Amino acid sequence: MSLTPPDPERCQADVPGPGPFSLGWGPGGPGNPKDGYRTRCYAPPEYIVVEAQPNPTDGLCGSMSLCPECLAALEEQDGTLEGFVVHLVSQWVEAQQMLVEVDE
């Protein structure tokens, strides 16, 4: 199983979409009616959030890019960010580039 890597260009959180009767759909369209017209957040991310501990079922640590508003929503939903390591996108991109250079 592979995980989708964080996107340094766009927040990866699902947010309520405008619904089927909105005329000003964004790039994600109206959203999918099967999930309540949720669509991907349009904001540029400022953070990469990584699970602090691997998932016990697959052993993987999930990660995703989040804008400040979606990071606040995650903290509100979980009540804390203790289970996550939060990186600035700029630092994460720089670290990824250094890893690629080491591999070459």
Residue 38's Cβ-count burial label (10 Å; 0-12, 13-18, 19+) is: middle
In eight-state DSSP terms, residue 57 is: T
Q: pLDDT by residue (tens digit) across 3-52?
A: 788 999 999 998 876 655 555 555 555 566 666 667 888 899 999 999 99
User: Quick one: pLDDT at residue 44?
Assistant: 95
Q: pLDDT by residue (tens digit) across 73-84?
A: 999 988 889 999
- pLDDT class for 98, splitting at 50, 70, 90? confident
Backbone phi, psi, residue 47, to 5°: -135, 150
Largest Cα span, the chain:
51
Please tell me whether residue 39 adopts helix, strand or coil conformation.
Answer: strand
Please give the Cα distance from 54 to 73 (Å, whole number): 22
Please give the Cα distance from 85 to 51 (Å, whole number): 6
| pTM confidence score | 0.74
Tell me which residue of 61, 40, 60, 64 sits closest to 52, measured CA to CA.
Answer: 61
